[in-house]
Amino acid sequence: MKPDTVYLNTAYLAPVQYYCKLLAYPHAVVEQHDHYLKQTYRNRCTIAAPDGPLALTVPIVKPDDPKCPVRDIRISDHGNWRHLHWNALQSAYNHTPFFEYYKDDFRPFYEERRYTFLVDFNEALCHLVCSLIDLHPRLERTTLYRPQLPPGEADDFRERIHPKRDGAAADPTFRPVPYYQVFQDRLGFLPNLSIADLLFNMGPESLLVLQQCNTEP
């Protein structure tokens, strides 16, 4: 019997696979006490740009301690990244069916609001996306780090959803289902991109796509 709880890492505009878990489990626990690792979804997402997949990375303040917990990772203002990310999102999705409809929900995260900590920024974006897709998981953060979870207590996807892993291969309960993408004629279908890609292309039908991507009933 599948447990009601899933453990996930914090993630910046996480991929479709991540939101499939938020749909499949009524209770999601987001890890904040693990050590920060580079080149993960913690501070990066992948979108479909006109020339192909494009990784957007939120710069962080380099911690003094290499074992710094994720909850203490601060966002850097280096490189005018907010402006660059918002321009990239507009360039990629300005001609999608639903960008115009949702852009004012996302714009403040890049032009007005300033978050000190990465986990707070990611969580606020996640709450926004869930509200737009009509997802209603109970989200909370870990209170301590548990490297292993007792069998049957929760399903652990903290390291299984990773940009260097094939989502479907690492997770047999996830099956990428093709949906309309604005550059599909040029690039072909690109699976498991950021949830922003699904939302801007499919709008309210995003929930249906997530349901189809979950192979478990």
pTM listed for this prediction: 0.95
Q: What's the pLDDT at 217?
A: 57
Q: What's the pLDDT at 169?
A: 73
Q: What's the pLDDT at 165?
A: 77
Q: What's the pLDDT at 67?
A: 83
Cβ within 8 Å of residue 169, ≥6 positions away: none
pLDDT tens-digit series, residues 123-169: 999 999 999 999 999 999 999 999 999 989 999 999 999 998 776 67
Full DSSP string of 95-122 = TSSSHHHHHHHHTHHHHT---SBHHHHH
Average pLDDT score over residue span 86-114: 96
Q: Which residue has better confidence, 34 or 167? A: 34
Q: What's the pLDDT at 112?
A: 87
Report d(CA 33, CA 137) in Å as an integer: 21
Q: What's the pLDDT at 168?
A: 67
Report d(CA 17, CA 4) in Å as an integer: 17
Length of the chain: 217
Q: How confident is the model at residue 84 (pLDDT cuts 50, 70, 90)?
A: very high
Q: How confident is the model at residue 79 (pLDDT cuts 50, 70, 90)?
A: confident
Both structure tokens of 212 = 């189809």
Q: What's the pLDDT at 135?
A: 96
Rounded to the nearest integer, the mean pLDDT of the chain is 94
Average pLDDT score over residue span 9-20: 98
Average pLDDT score over residue span 11-28: 97
Average pLDDT score over residue span 10-30: 97
Q: What's the pLDDT at 166?
A: 74
Q: What's the pLDDT at 186?
A: 93
Chain Cα centroid distance, residue 178: 18
pLDDT tens-digit series, residues 158-204: 999 999 877 667 799 999 999 999 999 999 999 999 999 999 999 99
> Which of 11, 8, 14 has the alpha carbon at shortest distance from 197?
14
Q: Beta 155-156 vs 5-9: how paired, if at all?
A: parallel
Report d(CA 154, CA 173) in Å as an integer: 15
Both structure tokens of 97 = 């069916």
